[in-house]
Amino acid sequence: MAKYMLLIFGDQAQWDAMTPEEWKTHDAAHEAFRDAAGAGVKGGAQLESPQVATTLRAGSDGGLLLTDGPFLETKEGLGGYYLVEADDLDQVTKLAALLPEVRASHSAVEIRPVVDHG
């Protein structure tokens, strides 16, 4: 078994423009994902818009610099994640294929293995 992070990226503007009916189908697909993954789901959350993100980094004066906005200023941002446990990449890919974000043209799901410190 190994842990994978499923990072859901997409265009926040497109998510914001979804109708309540579209959200209903969207949420149902997430439920189907969670049902299929069962106990394999170790965590997950939908994130607020990158617009309300705050980024902290080293400033030029040796202190810390707090900036308004996400680390990566791109059109598509991180919209949510799941931490799942699976046997191998094929199994986790099959599960991730159930997420509605892999069907929409503006979004995608990145599958990242989590470092196993044994």
Beta carbons of 105 and 20 less than 8 angstroms apart: no
Report the nearest approach of other proteins to the CB of residue 6 (Å).
13
3-state secondary structure of 93: helix
| H-run or E-run covering 52 | none
Among 31, 48, 88, 110, binds other proteins (CB under 8 A): 88
Beta carbons of 32 and 24 less than 8 angstroms apart: no
Q: For the chain, what percentages of helix, strand and coil (3-state, to nearest 5) are there?
A: 35, 35, 30
By CB under 8 A, is residue 113 in contact with other proteins? Answer: yes
Report the nearest approach of other proteins to the CB of residue 113 (Å).
5
Stretch that binds other proteins, among 11-19, 37-45, 65-73, 81-89 (CB under 8 A): 81-89
With b meaning 16 or more CB within 10 Å and e meaning fewer, what string describes 2-23?
ebbbbebbbbbeebeeeeeeee
By CB under 8 A, is residue 116 in contact with other proteins? Answer: yes
By CB under 8 A, is residue 110 in contact with other proteins? Answer: no
For other proteins, the closer of residues 2 and 53 by Cβ is: 2
Residues that bind other proteins (CB under 8 A): 2, 87-90, 93, 111, 113, 116, 118
